[in-house]
Amino acid sequence: MPRPTPTPIFHITAIDNLQLIAKSGLLSKNQVVARGVNFANIAFQSVQGHRSVKNVPIAPGGNLHDYVPFHFAPRSPMLMTINAGNVEGCDYRQDDIVHLKTTVEAVGAASLPFVFTNYHAVKAFAEFFSDPKDLDKIDWELFFEFPRLGGYCKYWNSAHSNARYALRMETRQAEFLVHDSVPLAVLGQIAVRTENMAERVRGVLANTAWSPEITVIPGWYY
């Protein structure tokens, strides 16, 4: 199955972070630290430790914390983990989390340096690419099989009893990584689960220079 074009990419963050993003753009972990920005954390610290030492073997190099991570589908396993209350120190649930959506093409048009992987970037077998033609090396069929929710396959889990799905989760967590930061002009859409969430987002952004499209898409949530 060919990839969709334009190719959507997604980043999740807490609603509480939106005002800071409106001031500084969407920053990599290392940029957050360097600038002293007090972002609300929604990530596993153990996974963040792995990301901090995982080198990117192609230009512009560095490690994964030098990049803003996006995925190629919404409704990620991480969102489920947050909603289940399994992230230590994180009291947010899915109704506190938004999807920031843009496209590979929008990132390219803005001349932002990027790389991407065909599997979860921390995996030793993940390959790194920088030519958009290599996006076709991702197994897109796993993203769009039936049954679908919100346009994407309902299932993320790997099934080791079936070779076709043995690496489904790792494939579905392939990453698109933008170096250092993503400006607001590239972040054109925020998706939420409910209209109440949409109202919260509108309130947070009311007095900022960021005016993305705010859409309610329940199928991108659990």
Q: Which two tokens stand for residue 67?
A: 């990049």
Catalytic residue (choose from 75, 170, 172, 175): 175
> Going by DSSP bridges, is the β-strand pair 152-153/114-117 parallel, antiparallel, or unpaired?
unpaired
DSSP secondary structure letter of residue 8: E
111: CB partners within 8 A, 6+ apart: none
* Known active-site residue 51: yes
Strand partners, 178: 68, 114
Q: How many helices (H) and strands (E) does the chain have?
A: 8, 12
Question: Which is the catalytic residue, given 51, 75, 193, 200?
Answer: 51
Catalytically annotated residues: 51, 175
